[in-house]
Amino acid sequence: MTAADTTTATAGTAAPAAEDRLRLAVIVASTRDGRFGPTVATWFTGLAAERADLAVDVVDLVATPLPAAMPGWEGAAPEDAELLAAVTPRLAAADAFVVVTPEYNHSFPAPLKNLIDLHYGEWQAKPIGFVAYGGLSGGLRAVEHLRQVFAELHAVTVRDTVSFHGAAGTFDGPLPKDPDGCGAAAKTMLDQVVWWARALREAKAVRPYGS
């Protein structure tokens, strides 16, 4: 799914010029067989795509396999460089991220940590929101761990999170049973992501981050 596939203008409003839209990368973190992540991600990206201020790119870690080993100081091996070439430019192009993640053993999935650790500058001075799902905790312990990791990478995580507690029971097929509640939470989170993404993009245009 590409930005062109998922971007639409809000009804009754003129779409911003392409260069004014913020590029939002939605990362689907789970790679487990029978995963619930695509259901949550499809619902969320549908909402995000309705916004005229966003162009959405879905980075599904099942569809974007990554090297199992970190590159050495001399750089990635050719076969690893080929894998990274399919995802790194998409992260670099993004103005903001939303991570759709379950909770595994009080934390987040290993493939997501691999994606994070294989990159650095791609995360810097960009906002990150979270859509979490799980059992009683709703994936929130995974989110709290991710906040610490992304802080180390100079990213800005927004305060409000979308969380599905007992996730499988909160959906009826592809849609949430309470679309108003989680839809309002998603709008609040996206409003914060958009504010930070625009502010940081404008700031970096005046002065590169870290200068």
- Would you list the DSSP string of 144-177? HHHHHHHHHTT-EE-S--EEEETHHHHEETTEES
Please give the Cα distance from 189 to 131 (Å, whole number): 9
116: pLDDT confidence band, cut at 50, 70 and 90?
A: very high
pLDDT over 80 (residue 114)? yes
Class of domain 3-206: alpha beta
pLDDT over 70 (residue 8)? no
Domain range annotation of the chain:
3-206
* Mean local confidence (pLDDT), 94-102: 98
Is residue 15 within 8 Å of residue 52, measured between CB atoms?
yes
* Mean local confidence (pLDDT), 164-190: 96
Instruction: Give the pLDDT of residue 20.
Output: 87
Identify which of 138, 142, 117, 143 has the alpha carbon closest to the alpha carbon of residue 128. Answer: 143
14: pLDDT confidence band, cut at 50, 70 and 90?
A: low
18: pLDDT confidence band, cut at 50, 70 and 90?
A: low
Instruction: Give the pLDDT of residue 15.
Output: 56
